[in-house]
């Protein structure tokens, strides 16, 4: 795009943002003022739902996903090539989907680093993986995604070892926690699930770029979920301080991750680097993420999980596929579920919203915004 055209586009965007601020001021709790259209009649920023509506919509999406899992065929991993000499970081890799991902990558010969905030659990998980795979190139490194200082320390210690980095799996998450903040004052779902991974990924990008090549691109795999379909991203209140619901906050964080993954891949492709970014929906998986749900839900889960829920191994299959499969070599910007490319929420494809979220995220975590963004 020529410089004069870029300047015109920037001017149009500034005018659009100004118009947004005039016409759609910061919403009040309980209100649902109409946001501007994304071009197809759909709104790309909405105020918070009521607690009941957010809860019902979230569970409705969950039920739909469960029915699809019950009626569909579960994806089975194909044989994957050895990954000897490659390095992977898996956040939240000490249990659940993260553990199964770390174990499988280790079984393929990778040097896997489990990044987590529980030293004892992490070390025990590494020990089990080494015993089960026979690959002793596994380790635990402390990382608290709710602390920007901890993330920077993790990256500093990792880079000091001069290791390559071929795969980054952004897996760790919290779900439906009561309203509380991270050490840096961010709402916990947004801070841990999204902002923590946003900062971690950006700080590791240079290593991923240096490690990727034409034969094996560096890969960033970010986990979202079907709840992103009902997520509402309010750029005026990303911390959901006005209308907090745990269901709405969780859904917003998962939508933010999809927007981030798409925007990241556009930027990487624009600069011509050998790094790709994809987002994965693992499905409804039987993990301990549900510990903050209601007693009724826990009872229903206990009675039906054997039939309706995926096991952590099944939930990890698409994550592993995205991380190392030759089928996806050089391919990015996709939403993957059950081993297939799928369509994410319409709002997630809005380039302008992706860019606005990226800009605000850079400001919140204290990093400069790169100027090689896509035109």
State the catalytic residues.
Answer: 250
Torsion over CA of 343, 375, 171 and 62, rounded to 10 degrees?
-30
DSSP state of 349: G
**Are residues 89 and 169 in contact, defined by beta-carbon separation less than 8 angstroms?**
yes
Tokens standing for residue 234: 């309010």
CA distance 75 to 63: 19
Instruction: Give the count of alpha carbons within 13 A of 83, CB side only.
Output: 30
Tokens standing for residue 298: 């826990």
Cβ neighbors of 105 (< 8 A, separation 6 or more) are 83, 88, 90, 112, 167, 320, 323, 324
User: Per-residue DSSP letters for 127-174?
Assistant: HHHHHHH----EEEEE--TT-HHHHHHHHHHHHTTT----EEEE----
Closest residue by Cα to residue 46 from 58, 61, 37, 35: 35
**Are residues 101 and 320 in contact, defined by beta-carbon separation less than 8 angstroms?**
yes
Q: Long-range CB contacts (< 8 A, 24+ apart) of 62-69?
A: 62/226, 62/227, 62/284, 64/226, 65/226, 65/283, 65/284, 66/284, 66/308, 66/309, 69/283, 69/284, 69/308, 69/309, 69/310
């Amino acid at each position: 795009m020529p410089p004069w055209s870029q300047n015109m586009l920037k001017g149009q965007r500034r005018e659009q943002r100004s118009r947004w601020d005039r016409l759609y001021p910061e919403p009040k709790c309980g209100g649902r003022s109409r946001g501007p259209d994304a071009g197809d009649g759909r709104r790309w920023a909405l105020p918070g739902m009521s607690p009941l509506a957010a809860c019902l919509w979230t569970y409705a999406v969950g039920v739909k996903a469960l029915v699809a899992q019950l009626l569909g065929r579960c994806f089975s991993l194909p044989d994957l090539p050895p990954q000897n000499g490659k390095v992977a970081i898996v956040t939240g890799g000490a249990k659940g989907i993260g553990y199964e991902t770390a174990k499988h990558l280790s079984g393929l010969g990778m040097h896997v680093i489990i990044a987590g905030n529980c030293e004892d659990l992490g070390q025990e998980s590494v020990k089990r993986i080494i015993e089960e795979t026979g690959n002793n190139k596994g380790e635990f490194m402390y990382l608290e995604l709710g602390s920007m200082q901890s993330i920077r320390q993790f990256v500093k210690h990792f880079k000091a070892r001069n290791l390559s980095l071929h795969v980054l799996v952004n897996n760790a998450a919290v779900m439906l926690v009561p309203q509380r903040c991270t050490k840096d004052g961010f709402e916990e779902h947004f801070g841990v699930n999204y902002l923590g991974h946003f900062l971690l990924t950006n700080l590791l990008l240079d290593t991923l770029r240096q490690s990727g090549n034409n034969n094996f691109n560096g890969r960033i795999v970010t986990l979202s979920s079907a709840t992103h379909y009902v997520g509402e991203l309010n750029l005026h209140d990303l911390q959901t301080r006005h209308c907090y619901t745990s269901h709405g906050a969780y859904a917003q964080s998962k939508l933010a991750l999809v927007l981030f993954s798409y925007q990241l891949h556009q930027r990487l492709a624009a600069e011509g680097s050998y790094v790709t970014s994809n987002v994965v929906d693992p499905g409804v998986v039987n993990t301990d993420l549900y510990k903050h749900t209601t007693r009724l839900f826990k009872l229903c889960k206990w009675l039906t999980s054997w039939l309706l829920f995926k096991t952590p191994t099944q939930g990890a299959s698409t994550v592993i596929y995205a991380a190392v499969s030759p089928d996806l070599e050089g391919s990015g910007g996709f939403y993957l579920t059950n081993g297939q490319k799928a369509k994410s929420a319409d709002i997630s494809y809005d380039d302008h919203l992706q860019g606005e979220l990226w800009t605000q995220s850079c400001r919140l975590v204290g990093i400069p915004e790169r100027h090689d963004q896509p035109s």
